[in-house]
Amino acid sequence: MAFVNKWAALQELENVPVSCSTCGVQTELHSPNEAVRHALHNASYIQSFKKQIVLLQRTRALFERFPTSRHPVKISHEYVHKAERPQTQQDKDFDRALADDAELRHFLMRSSFLLPARLAGVSKACDEWQQRLDDSLIRCNACQYGHYVIDAALFEQLT
């Protein structure tokens, strides 16, 4: 996967495709000024934190469904030091549950973290960014509650 400089790509666009972080309405902002571009760029960080929080909460729910499982994926996200980890063993029920959620499986297989610490850290970062940027975020015209974020498909097209 190629690296995309989101800020540079955003600067080159005359019309910026956006969607609401709450209601999902999609629109375009025509010729946004630099302050609006900065707000959209910063909002993308908040959105990525929120997506990660959802994946971490789904991870916690999966682990809670299998409290006694010693599946390697579960153990690797519950213990910091390898020396502290209990012996792992395959768990077909856990494997099936993981196979039923391809997005979560991909996230867990490519990520290394301690679940409680990661969930707390990402939640804190999200709250801090939200508080710091709240006044500069561009409110959605449709619902007046959420804020506009750069449409995720935009950067996928650039890679």
pLDDT of residue 150: 86
pLDDT of residue 55: 97
Task: Tell me the domain boundaries of the chain.
Answer: 6-158
Dist CA 36 CA 18 (whole Å): 12
Mean pLDDT in residue range 37-61: 91
Amino acid at site 62: L
pLDDT in tens, 103-123: 999 999 999 999 999 999 999
Q: Which residue has the higher pLDDT, 143 or 136?
A: 143
| pTM reported for the whole predicted model | 0.79
pLDDT of residue 27: 92
**E strand or H helix that includes residue 28:** strand 26-30
Place of tokens 């935009």: 154
pLDDT of residue 4: 67
